[in-house]
Chain A
Amino acid sequence: MKKQINLTVNGKAYSHEVEARLLLVHYLRDELRLTGTHVGCDTSSCGSCTILMDGLAVKCCTLLAVQADGANITTIEGLADNDSLHPLQEGFREEHGLQCGFCTPGMIMTAADLLSTNSDPSEQEIRHALEGNFCRCTGYHNIVKSIQYAANKINNKEVAS
């Protein structure tokens, strides 16, 4: 049985008929072709499918597309302001916050949630916030530095070069 959903993704309104069992991550990737949101563990552990739903980080491998009816969604593709990178994206580039890059969109979206409520997090708060995101390359160290870079930039603090 198909259900009508209406939602906003990265500022653009969409309307589709979807099967009730369609997972939100597959709707984003296969229907909208927004493949920056990854499927890693597929069991809501690894965090690579993290997106913002009404401003809050959620794991969309554990959500149905029908649950997103009426929602305002931001994926990694919607984070940059046209050609200028979001401070988090810039931070991950400047601080080498990634190696293979698979976990990166999820890391960045979780960090975006963190910075929206706590724009000046301590290192411990950043590490705590990332407990639902797994990285198998970097050992997290540079990811933490990338998020600190973004926080400093958002707060107009001097960014170490």
Chain B
Amino acid sequence: MIPAAFDYHKATSVAEAVGLLKEHGMDAKILAGGHSLIPAMKLRLNQPELLIDISGIADLKGIKDEGRKLVIGAACTHGAIASSAEVNKDAPILAITAKTIGDIQIRNKGTIGGSIAHADPAADWPAALIAADATIEVLGGGGSRTIAATDFFTGIYDTALEEDEVIIAIHVPKVSSTFTSAYAKFFQPASRFAIVGCAVVMEMKDNYCVSARVAFTGVSDMAFFDEKVSSALAGKSLNDETIAAAAAQAAQGVDTLGDHFASEEYREHLAKVYAERAIREAIA
């Protein structure tokens, strides 16, 4: 399969990429690792006239420790995040999740910024970023701004990004050793995307849950923060009963996806099962 013809420009700065996006609008697409975009272009689901390659911009790479948070460059690969000592220590939900994305080859090339800009409803990153309470730093024609991960994903392949905005970095609050994290995922067996993925970050005091953030991907048009499960965990001593009661609240009131892999009813069931697995794994 061959993509439709396009023009290609390798940008040397984010400002240059933003300028080109402003000039070309919807006809241009940002290329980072290309592991969401190129498959779509090969299927001719996407036929941009211009690709703006941002993979050579040094500012977008690297993971910086900024005291109370980690700042992960948008062009960091899933593999770089999975193996980062800082991320494993200070934002483990991201490392745990990164290790489940695709396979070695995909993780070596696909980027966090590219994945979240693409906003596949079955992608893993959205659940992790919402559970981690991350914010997304973007730069566009109107200047720079930050968007909370909970507000970033707005629908199937749809985000809060404006047409001329480029993702610069993901800001992730650091967690101390009193926090515990897990990501439980029901894999689509061929693509390894999440039919249902549940990310959990909890602050624990022995088996008492001080606070919890539970987020789902794959269940609905977009990843979401599950307020009901999160609040059912917070302020409780976790045991079989309280965990089961919290997990039973999963994905209530959301518009559940149904497709040939999993019906709506099955996804709703999986959400409860995977919430329980993620909570149990986090405290195991």
Contacts and interface: CB of A to CB of B under 8 A. Distances in A.
Q: Do A and B come from one complex?
A: yes
A3 B51 CA distance: 13
A123 interface: no
Contacts, number: 82
A43 interface: yes
A63 B34 contact: yes
Nearest to B77: A56
Given A45-B191, A56-B79, A62-B39, A21 B106 contact: no
Interface in B166-199: 190-192
A83 B183 CA distance: 47
B6 A43 contact: no
B53 to A, nearest CB: 7
B108 A56 contact: yes
Contacts of A66: 8, 10, 53
A72 to B, nearest CB: 14
Contacts of A20: 5-8, 51
A97 B79 CA distance: 27
Interface string B3-30: 1111110100000000000000000000
Interface string A2-27: 01000000000000000111010000
B106 A44 contact: yes
A90 interface: no
A59 interface: yes
Contact of A43 (B4, B39, B41): B39
Question: Chain B contact residues (Cβ within 8 angstroms of A): what range?
Answer: 20 to 34
B105 to A, nearest CB: 5
The secondary structure that dominates the A interface is: mixed
Contact of A58 (B6, B7, B105, B192): B105
A110 B3 contact: no
B284 interface: no
B105 A64 contact: no
Given A47-B105, A62-B34, A113-B108, 10 more contacts: A1-B7, A20-B51, A21-B6, A44-B39, A53-B109, A57-B105, A57-B108, A62-B38, A131-B104, A132-B105
24 contacts: A1-B5, A20-B5, A21-B2, A21-B3, A21-B4, A21-B6, A23-B42, A45-B190, A47-B103, A56-B109, A57-B105, A58-B105, A58-B108, A58-B109, A62-B34, A64-B8, A64-B34, A64-B38, A66-B8, A110-B105, A129-B104, A131-B104, A132-B104, A132-B106
Interface of B: 1-8, 10, 31, 34-35, 38-39, 41-42, 51, 53, 55, 79, 102-106, 108-109, 190-192
